Each structure stands twice: as structure tokens, then as C-alpha cells.
Amino acid sequence: YVLGLPPPDIAFPEEDTEQVNVNNLPTIYRAIWETARKHDVDDAITRRVVAMFAYDVDLSKRISAGDSIEILQTAPDGSGRSELLYVALKTGSTSRELYRFRTDEGSVDFYDPEGETGKRFLTRRPVKGGGRLVSRFGYRVHPIFKTRKLHTGSDFAAPLGTPIYAAGDGVVERAQWVSGYGKYVQLKHVNGIETAYGHMSRIADGLEPGMPVRQGQIIGYVGSTGNSTGNHLHYEIRVNGRPVDPLSVKLPRDKALPPQYEASFTQTVTQVRELMQRPAIPALVVAQR
């Protein structure tokens, strides 16, 4: 044995010490954008990442110590463009992984390790950019009438004229002025589910009852019509006529990878996980399906 002495203490100057105010941590949405731009991730890829997790995660919640995001992308091509291959978001004790996979027909989507798409049956924040959450579902004092009553949806503030999207595939039930809601659209989906969108500045041209709509289709634009104190989208989800919290209700997955791709997808997951265990290197070239 050789006598070992502890090394001398190293005193760090005050300017080299980073202090984090845990009471003022950013939202998940803001943290993703700030982290991506800090590491020169293309904005188009960041928008896609945000859109994929918006189905499953309340992006308006603040991050916690230990939360993280991992991204794997191809090396830039001749035009400087990269493809997203993998993204993992860890919040608290929950980790969500999504892997890029292309079928023989050329269809490209992202799936979790069980082969289920990251997409959900409905979008939780059906406004361009996600909006800024200003009022949650639940009992509150009404900002105009000053009475305590159930707020049957979630309010997302956004600039006047911001596009509002259909939260899922469905059929238009109402597209008209409704007292209190102002310019209003109501969609009927499968399994007794309906969504509603209030206070629009304008309903999309040609939108009429009985018309089918697709998820992501523009159905109107943010405004402040009806009983409203500012430009925002009032968004509701109802199950068998009963309003539920759009940000926390459990939503079914949109679709799963066909069984014939199980072996190929498992191989893709294994390859990506092996790559993620290696030290990060610049210009990593990844063979992709």
C-alpha cells in the first residue's frame, strides 16, 4: 500500500460558478428551443420535435433538475440539410423515445420502442406554435362575470389571426356564432369524442356542417369574439358530452407499425441505441432505412 493524500481543494472564482434558480426554470417548450439553438439544431427539426411531443406532453410545464433531451441526426448533406433519426425526452421519471422508420412503400414516421407512432388521436394544443397557456381546465373565477364556475377547456393565447387546426380527423358539426364563444367550430370524432374551438376572429372559408376535416387542417383563426378579454383559442374536448381536461386526458395512439416490419424496426432500434452509447463525434454518418 502507498500512502495517498487527498488533492488540495480548488477554489473556483465566483464568475466560474453557475447558479440556477430552480424556482425560475423554463417551460419544456422553451427549454427544447433554447437547447436546440445552443447546439445549432436546425429550426425545422426543432419544430418537428416539439410537434411530436406536443401530443403526449404538457409543454407548458416547467422542467425539473435532471430533465434532458437527446437528438440523433444524419450528417448534413450538400445543401446543409440533416434528417432527424431519433429523439428522446426525459421529464421526471418518464422517458419517451421516438425512432425514425421508413416502410417499403416509402412512408416515414416516428415510433416508440413498441412500434407505436408518437402521434395521438387528437392534438392537445391545436394552434400554430402551440400558443401560451393562460387558463387551464377547472373551476375558476370568470374574468368577465366574476363568478366561480367550471372552465370547460384550455385557453391558449396567440396573436390575432394565428391559424387554428383541427385537433383530429372528424366531421364539422357547427361552424357559426355561438353566444359567449363568439365565432365557434365544433367537430365530431369517433368513439363519442368531440372538440370545440371558440373566440375565433374568422372561421376558415368554406367550412360548413357535414364537411370532413383532417388533423392539422386549418379551421379558423385566433381572435377575441364573444365573451373574451384578449386574443386566444378556447379549446374543449368532450367525451360522450362530458368536458375533460385537454392537457391531461389520456388519448389513444393514432396508429401502430404494421406487424411485418417488426424485425426491421427492432434492428433499427438496436442500431440507434448502440450509436447513442458511443462518444459524440462530429459529422456522424448513419445508415438509415
CB 78 within 8 A of CB 248: no
Per-residue confidence band for 280, with pLDDT thresholds at 50, 70 and 90: low
What's the rounded mean pLDDT across residues 161-169? 93
Vertex 36: Cα angle to 35 and 38 (nearest 5): 65
Are residues 52 and 136 located together in one domain of the fold? no
pLDDT score at 289: 47
CA distance 235 to 216: 15
Stretch among 70-74, 113-117, 151-155 having the lowest mean pLDDT: 113-117
Q: What pLDDT, in 10s, does the model give residues 73-123?
A: 888 888 888 889 999 999 888 899 999 999 888 888 888 888 887 677 788
Give a yes or no: residue 282 inside a domain. no
Are residues 136 and 88 located together in one domain of the fold? no
Residue 125 has pLDDT above 60, yes or no: yes
Residue 16 has pLDDT above 50, yes or no: no
CA distance 122 to 189: 9
Give a yes or no: residue 287 inside a domain. no
All three cell numbers of 276? 447513442
pLDDT score at 237: 95
Q: Tell me the C-alpha to C-alpha distance, in Å, between residue 282 and each of 72, 73, 83, 119.
A: 11, 11, 15, 30
Are residues 157 and 185 located together in one domain of the fold? yes
Range of the domain at 213: 132-244
Give a yes or no: residue 39 inside a domain. yes
Give a yes or no: residue 38 inside a domain. yes
Are residues 91 and 181 located together in one domain of the fold? no
Q: What pLDDT, in 10s, does the model give residues 182-214?
A: 999 999 998 899 999 999 999 999 999 999 999
What's the total number of domains in the chain?
2
Are residues 78 and 158 located together in one domain of the fold? no
Which one is predicted more confidently, 5 or 123? 123
Give a yes or no: residue 5 inside a domain. no
Q: Tell me the C-alpha to C-alpha distance, in Å, between residue 23 and each of 19, 28, 62, 65, 225.
A: 12, 14, 9, 11, 36
pLDDT score at 99: 93
Q: Find, among 86, 46, 50, 89, the residue nearest to 66 by Cα.
A: 89
Are residues 201 and 113 located together in one domain of the fold? no
Give a yes or no: residue 63 inside a domain. yes
Give a yes or no: residue 110 inside a domain. yes
pLDDT score at 275: 87
Are residues 222 and 172 located together in one domain of the fold? yes
β partners of residue 72? 86
Are residues 136 and 240 located together in one domain of the fold? yes
Give a yes or no: residue 6 inside a domain. no
CA distance 230 to 223: 8
Are residues 182 and 159 located together in one domain of the fold? yes
pLDDT score at 170: 93
Q: What pLDDT, in 10s, does the model give residues 203-256?
A: 999 999 999 999 889 999 999 999 998 999 999 999 999 999 998 887 776 667
Are residues 68 and 164 located together in one domain of the fold? no
Residue 281 has pLDDT above 60, yes or no: no
The enclosing domain of 73 has a CATH number of: 3.10.450.350
CA distance 134 to 197: 15
Are residues 149 and 198 located together in one domain of the fold? yes
The enclosing domain of 228 has a CATH number of: 2.70.70.10
Are residues 66 and 143 located together in one domain of the fold? no
